[in-house]
Amino acid sequence: MPTTIQNLGECKIPSPLHHIGTVEVRFRTESERVLHEHVLDLSAPPVDLASQRVLSFEAAGPREHIYFDPPKITAGIVTCGGLCPGLNDIIKGLVNQLYHRYRVTKIYGFRYGYQGLVQKYGHTPLMLKPESVSQIHLLGGSILGSSRGNQPIGEMVDTLVDMKMDVLFVVGGDGTLKGAQLLSEEIERRGLKKAIVGIPKTIDNDIQFLDKSFGFETAFAEAVKAIRAAQAEALGAPNGIGLVRLMGRESGFIASYAALAEGNVDFVLIPEVPFTMEGERGLLEALRYKIAKKKSAVIVVAEGAGHDLMGGYGEADASGNPRPKDIGYFLRDKIYDFFRERRTELNLKYIDPSYTIRSVPANAQDNFFCQHLAQHAVHAAMAGKTGMLVGRWHCSFVHLPIALVTQVGRSKVDPTGELWRAVLESTGQPSKLY
């Protein structure tokens, strides 16, 4: 599995970061690696860490010599895909690091995702300076806007050439990063010296080889608020049910974390764990037993759960991602019909907080995390690294090839792992609802 990071060329320029105030900067080297596996089995034969059998990632951080001459370069930032808490924090972090630490003064923000890199759309780039981004972390969304969908790679590279853009920071999820990889390949094909550095964005926390993605902690913290509202509704009426639909197209991390954090959820339904509605061991019978026992229930469902029960996915979105049919409405109607047939009173409240969660400002923990991601992204770009993204693995920031991350598929909740076991223990739901 290749983990080598592509470089534009030899780094000959001394870094301007040799001293920040009175603090001596600790520079990283390419030989410093972070191991993929952090557990050592002492009963196993010893392993040669230098061999290719041991998967490791290049450590992120400032380099003693850099590729680009900071005062002479132009940098760009683009945010793509759906909104996510922390986008503005990333933009602010990139601008401040470029301007204050590397003295890069020409920084542009491309409007509305990859559309901003295609001239026919007429989206004029924004000039970004520390003064213009000083308060944006207090706002939700992205000051640059965003969009989904593929754009002509050649035309996007033409724009980078026309604007004499040396570095482009791409903030987005799986589809966005695949686009960044294509940009990097086209730039290399033309023999250009331009760095493409990705910052992974996925509110579902489902990118491989990352401890977490920015915005995730804010998202599940906000989801907890929705679950508490659902619980209040469920307790406030006879046979009350609070049904909460959360993000999680292919991975149930938000649903799982939020349910554990709230602590009063009775059922968690995620894409990784199949379930059925009917039958003695199905969800409906389990729900009927729960209502009979405690007179109320709270259900948390990820948007991608149970898609097989609804005949598969709906039409793909503009980025080509499969769009799940609405499991929330499906469950609501099935539950109503089930209890109506049994002449049992039911008071069900359905809550879908998805868009309010996506658009809130990041919380303090994500503020902190975004600043680190942005700083490491700038360090990498100034050292001439390209076709890569920054992330955190085992609490260490690392460089990952974009091609590696986008080819291995999404990270998912392991139905036999510790997280799902903790969910089952917290909810008391049957391990199999079928």
Backbone angles phi, psi at 42, to 5 degrees: -70, -20
Instruction: Work out the number of other CB atoms within 10 angstroms of the CB of residue 40.
Output: 9
**Number of helices (H), then strands (E), in the chain:** 13, 19
Distance from C-alpha of 275 to C-alpha of 278, rounded to nearest angstrom? 9
User: Distance between the two ends of the chain, CA-based, in angstroms?
Assistant: 38
Range list of H helices, 97-172: 102, 130-133, 153-162
Task: Write out 95-133 in H/E/C secondary structure.
Answer: HHHHHHHHCCCEEEEECCHHHHHCHHHCCCCEECCHHHH
C-alpha angle 144/148/153, rounded to 5°?
Answer: 90
The verdict on whether 174 is a catalytic residue reads no
Q: Which residue has the tokens 């199949």?
A: 274
Q: Which residue has the tokens 């010893």?
A: 46
| H-run or E-run covering 103 | none
The total of other beta-carbon atoms located within 10 Å of residue 92's CB is 23
DSSP 237-264: STTEEEEEEE--SS--HHHHHHHHHH--
Residue 258 tokens, joined: 């939020």
Quick check: 148 and 80 in contact, CB under 8 A? yes
Of 240, 345, 350, 236, the C-alpha closest to 300 is 350
Q: Is the dihedral of CA 219, 429, 245, 211 positive or negative?
A: positive
φ, ψ (nearest 5 deg) of residue 155: -70, -35
433: Cβ–Cβ under 8 A, 6 or more apart, which residues? Answer: 267, 269, 275, 276, 281, 282, 283, 286
Smallest CA-to-CA distance from 375 within 94, 171, 145 is with: 94
Catalytic residue selected from 89, 166, 174, 204: 204
Distant-in-sequence, close-in-space partners of 258: CB < 8 Å, separation ≥ 6: 220, 223, 224, 227, 246, 300
Known catalytic residues are 204
